[in-house]
Structure 1
Amino acid sequence: MDSLLKNKHLISRAGFGISIDQADYINEQTPRKISETLFREYPFTEIIYQTPDYIKAESNDPKLNAEQRRLQQKTNQKQNEELNLNFLMNMVYGKDQLTEKMAFFWHGHFATRIINPKFNQQLLNFIRKNALGSFRNLLIGVSKSPAMLSFLNNQQNKKDHPNENFAREVMELFTMGRGNYSEADVKELARAFTGWGYDKEGNFRERKNHHDEGEKTFLGKKGKFNGDDVLGIILEQKSTAQFITEKIYRFFVNEIPNQSIISKLSKDFYESDYDVKSLMKSIFTSKWFYDQKNIGNRIKSPTELIVGMMRILPMEIHNPENIVIYQKLLGQMLLYPPNVAGWPNGKSWIDSSTLMLRMQIPQIWSGIIPMEYSAREDDDIDMGMKSREVLNKSYKNPNIKINWQTVKDIFKNKNPHDYLIINSDSVNMNIVEQFSSDTNQIKTIINIMSTPEYQLM
């Protein structure tokens, strides 16, 4: 297997695909060199928004009237939109590709959907900062974040009236997976989490007066447990390491799990006290990662598709808020997962409508064809804050300028499909070139990116 294929595979899984700059030299590097770059330490920069907070006309009035609610809602929407786009742009232009890819994974794993942009920003930056660190620290920090506590109703979890939402999802979706705990464990876990909440500034608060101080029996242990105690007990379970390892394997390697490999990775992950970076190094430096069955077998998520296009086509986006609309149309709007389970993967990304749009985006963004999709009557994009008329108008005008001269210069003496498609031999270039010409390499590149093969990574 040649180095270019290995490099494409590694960069697409540990990052978001080859950038236009990398295309100029990636054929000259070894996978080991690429791996060293991916695991290099980079300075951390927080994602922020610049839209100013809405200040109520009467700051001493705790209740908002209808107009004030509308203005507050509009401010929240704008700030969340900025966070969304800044997260996306970090994936496109950030040097620390592996951290952003891991953050993207954890963003779907610890899925929340709330309106408060301050809470969203806080959780997003915490996940990004700890994406390659300790899963132990990540789990504890996320569990104490106001975004998660709000989304799963733990603010309402109080002694004598326990709310089980947060407790159930911690075990089912975030750590152990179904089949490794009982309903009694859910009830006892909820009791341990009573009193966990936050203040309006987003600070974690352990409200002692709301905590159930009684003895609990959880996963075979007895004690007057609090939230930290039970998270520690969950992390003692080897099933937690197994569950997380398998989910990471399915996302980064193959949706069909290899249980013997996963068991070995899981054992090492557990013994390292949940060191995420060590786990990812084991995956990306192994021989089996480059097995043919693991290459070009994943359907790109909408985020991976959009970011990959933006990395390989240098572009200036005059109204970047429209990128949020494409996220919604394709089914993956950052900060807005469908539910607490996060986004699905694989074939669930593809249906007759989304596949057609996915294959037409290169032509739409290049200005060759107009956008012919419109919002559905029940479309809830941006939490219902944009009208269908505004959406339909903006669909038709992505207002993107691509620097085609740079693209032509980079691919001047190259076969574009060797760089744009993971398994480049799978593309029938005769069909692609029927719609191009020998002198129009730009059209060839657009056509390659409009093939079904470009949807795979």
Structure 2
Amino acid sequence: MSLTFDEARHFLSRTAFGGTPEEIRRVMQLDRAAAVAQALAIPTNKAQTTPPAWIHRLPPLPKVRKHWSEAQRKTFREGLKADGQELKAWWYRELLTSRCPLLERMTLWWHNHFTSSLHKVKWPPFLYQQNVLLRLYALGSFRTLLTAIARNPAMLLYLDTQSNRKEHPNENFARELFELFTLGEGHYTEQDIKEAARAFTGWHLDFHTGAFRVDLRHHDDGRKVVFGKSGPFEGDDILLLTLEQPQVAWYIVGKLWREFISDRPDSLEVDRLADSFRKKNYEIAGLLQDLLLSPQFWAPENRGVLIKSPVELIVGTARLFSLPIEDTVQQIGLARRLGQDLFDPPNVKGWPGGTRWITTSSLLDRTQMLHRAIRGHETGHSHGMADMGHVPGRLWLATEPEISQAASDLQGRIRQAPPLTSDFPANKIGKQLEVAAKLIAAQVPVAVIKVTQGSFDTHAGQSATHHRLLEELAQGLTTFRAAMEKLGAWKDVLVMTYSEFGRRVGENASHGTDHGTAAPHFFMGGRVKGGLYGVSPSLRDLQDGDLKHTLDYRAVYATVIEKWWGLPAVSFGTGRYPALDCLTE
């Protein structure tokens, strides 16, 4: 049976970047199986746009750089920045013109799965090579892709494999291999990570050639125990042992489900798809075929429920209106303001996606760009991507038109509100807090405003980064408090922090303490009594290297629910938690 209009539009929204009316009409001539087969029939797995001229260039050796003058160093840094922009512009051109949109979508997806960043790697040619690798195997073998990415120069530098030596093993790559790339949290032990890190010692990028090699002088060839198996394992052995774990297929299927179907995977269907994925030897195209032909993919309740990323929105809008693409600089800046900067994810976990694309600032930024695109399309006066980008980054949320109307309403209320006289810091958290202050000044009736301070997931050399981030947070909150006091609203505001994870007590070999299980929370506001609530945990009595928490985080949430909002106590699934006596009436 041929696809209906709604089915064809849904299919192109998920497997491409949306569809023009003509593209939708063409897909409507197909049934589901034929549409999926056509999307997967990729004529080439190589980019079709001309790449930058410097893609094969090698970085200058440290022994050369150490003799540079400050002027030479400045010129070098400026060149790296320009090359990085050129790299991003090249990929945008490919996204906008590709005849294989599913291939580009999957390349983008793998870019967020096997993350690396220009900020850490520094050398744009290495990120270009990684992008080529991701595209090459985007619909191929996950087994082959995993093996190749572990040797990729950008990955070797990004997760510090380059500095992993038997004298001082670096756990970063081994940890993310298990936690983010293959298994997910809770399916390995800390000892598995330590032992696997030993197997990857000596894995090395030769800066003279740009090639991967194993430096046997720094490789630990001793016996290791990983996943209950023992042997003198090498790095490749760890990859094979990992792929033997059934959890790998389940983890990848679950992530792709959230990309193509909904943010709530069906566990029984995931089990079926994961079993098929393993039997097909981790062939990605086969998994996508099964996923796209599943009843859940086509179910009406799963249409229009996924929030598009900034890149998807920008590329989809440009392709829909056939906007000229001669100027991609505007696109890059627009996507960055909306929270997605290609080749520069916020941390090793990449962009969290989903509802996290919607923040106090981005909500207001997801309308006017589309309005300009529509007006330009209707009047014939569009200036292409440059026309879209001159707006402070506003975009339309195609799947949730209500948000567009809500954003317009909020803008009107903010314009009528008393102006703020406080000068907020010009950084990310400062800008978000300024938007929050404007919403409060406009008396917008919302119970919660969420702002985000990212990049704490450092893994290595965290001291300087955390000092900067905490200083930015302190400056932003200080200004926010001053703004609220001037409005006479400080007693009506409660600022609460929360975090995905805390810090471990001991540093790893790279001077990082990520992924701890306990952390402090902070309250600020005119009704906060102040003081320390709970007992400081022992730095000696640890659980697998982690602090033992002394106060359950759900007690903090109970405090907000009962003491701030004045609502009845609720159960959090495992019982009720007593609210803290930290707020005045």
The Cα of 1:203 is off from its aligned counterpart by 0.7
| 1:248-275 C-alpha deviation (Å, 9 max, x unpaired) | 1111111111100000001111111111
Query: Which one-letter code corresponds to 2:284 in the other structure?
Result: V
Q: 2:275 aligns with which of 253, 257, 267?
A: 267
Work out the percentage of aligned pairs sharing the same amino acid: 33
Q: Match of 2:524?
A: none
Q: 2:386 aligns with which of 392, 395, 399?
A: 399
Q: Secondary structure at the match of 2:324?
A: strand
Alignment partners' CA distance in 1, 2:65 and 2:163: 24
| 2:239 is equivalent to residue 231 of structure 1 | yes
The Cα of 1:78 is off from its aligned counterpart by 2.1
Q: Match of 2:104?
A: 100
Q: Match of 2:86?
A: 82
Alignment partners' CA distance in 2, 1:360 and 1:34: 33
Q: Is the 8 A contact 1:158 1:211 kept in 2?
A: yes
Higher RCO (Cα < 8 Å, 6 or more apart): 1
Q: Secondary structure at the match of 1:222?
A: strand
Between 22-31 and 159-168, the greater mean CA deviation after superposition: 22-31
Q: Is the 8 A contact 1:145 1:204 kept in 2?
A: yes
Q: Larger Cα Rg: Structure 1 or Structure 2?
A: 2
Q: 2:365 aligns with which of 347, 357, 373?
A: 357
Alignment partners' CA distance in 2, 1:335 and 1:83: 9
| 2:116 is equivalent to residue 112 of structure 1 | yes
Query: Which one-letter code corresponds to 1:319 in the other structure?
Result: D
Q: Match of 1:377?
A: none
Alignment partners' CA distance in 2, 1:318 and 1:311: 13
The Cα of 1:35 is off from its aligned counterpart by 2.0
Q: Is the 8 A contact 2:93 2:328 kept in 1?
A: no
Q: Is the 8 A contact 1:3 1:30 kept in 2?
A: no
Alignment partners' CA distance in 2, 1:355 and 1:15: 24
**Which structure has the highest helix share of the two?**
1
Alignment partners' CA distance in 2, 1:166 and 1:192: 11
> Unaligned stretches of 5+ in structure 2?
377-382, 390-396, 409-585
The Cα of 1:247 is off from its aligned counterpart by 0.9
Alignment partners' CA distance in 2, 1:21 and 1:115: 42
| 1:121-159 C-alpha deviation (Å, 9 max, x unpaired) | 111100001000110111111111110110111111001
Q: Secondary structure at the match of 2:367?
A: helix
Q: Secondary structure at the match of 1:296?
A: coil
Number of paired residues? 383
| 2:216 is equivalent to residue 208 of structure 1 | yes
Q: Match of 1:417?
A: none
The Cα of 1:32 is off from its aligned counterpart by 3.6
| 2:164 is equivalent to residue 157 of structure 1 | yes
The Cα of 1:50 is off from its aligned counterpart by 3.1
Q: Is the 8 A contact 2:58 2:210 kept in 1?
A: no
Q: Match of 2:548?
A: none
Query: Which one-letter code corresponds to 1:91 in the other structure?
Result: L
Query: Which one-letter code corresponds to 1:234 in the other structure?
Result: T
TM-score, with length taken from structure 2: 0.61
TM-score, with length taken from structure 1: 0.77
The Cα of 1:82 is off from its aligned counterpart by 2.2
| 1:285-332 C-alpha deviation (Å, 9 max, x unpaired) | 222211122111101111111111011011124432121101110000
Alignment partners' CA distance in 2, 1:427 and 1:85: 28
Q: Match of 1:442?
A: none
Q: Is the 8 A contact 2:307 2:357 kept in 1?
A: yes
| 1:368-402 C-alpha deviation (Å, 9 max, x unpaired) | 7xxxxxxxxxxxxxxxxxxxxxxxxxxx9963499
Q: Is the 8 A contact 1:16 1:91 kept in 2?
A: no
1:129-208, aligned counterparts within 5 Å? Answer: 129-200=136-207, 201-208=209-216
| 2:318 is equivalent to residue 310 of structure 1 | yes
Q: 2:255 aligns with which of 218, 227, 247?
A: 247
Query: Which one-letter code corresponds to 2:96 in the other structure?
Result: V
> Unaligned stretches of 5+ in structure 1?
369-395, 403-419, 432-457
| 1:434-454 C-alpha deviation (Å, 9 max, x unpaired) | xxxxxxxxxxxxxxxxxxxxx
Q: Is the 8 A contact 1:112 1:336 kept in 2?
A: yes
Q: Secondary structure at the match of 1:358?
A: coil
Q: Is the 8 A contact 1:7 1:30 kept in 2?
A: no
Q: Secondary structure at the match of 1:399?
A: helix
Alignment partners' CA distance in 2, 1:318 and 1:427: 28
Query: Which one-letter code corresponds to 1:38 in the other structure?
Result: A
Q: Is the 8 A contact 2:324 2:385 kept in 1?
A: no
Q: Secondary structure at the match of 1:316?
A: coil
Alignment partners' CA distance in 1, 2:44 and 2:261: 27
Q: Is the 8 A contact 2:261 2:296 kept in 1?
A: no
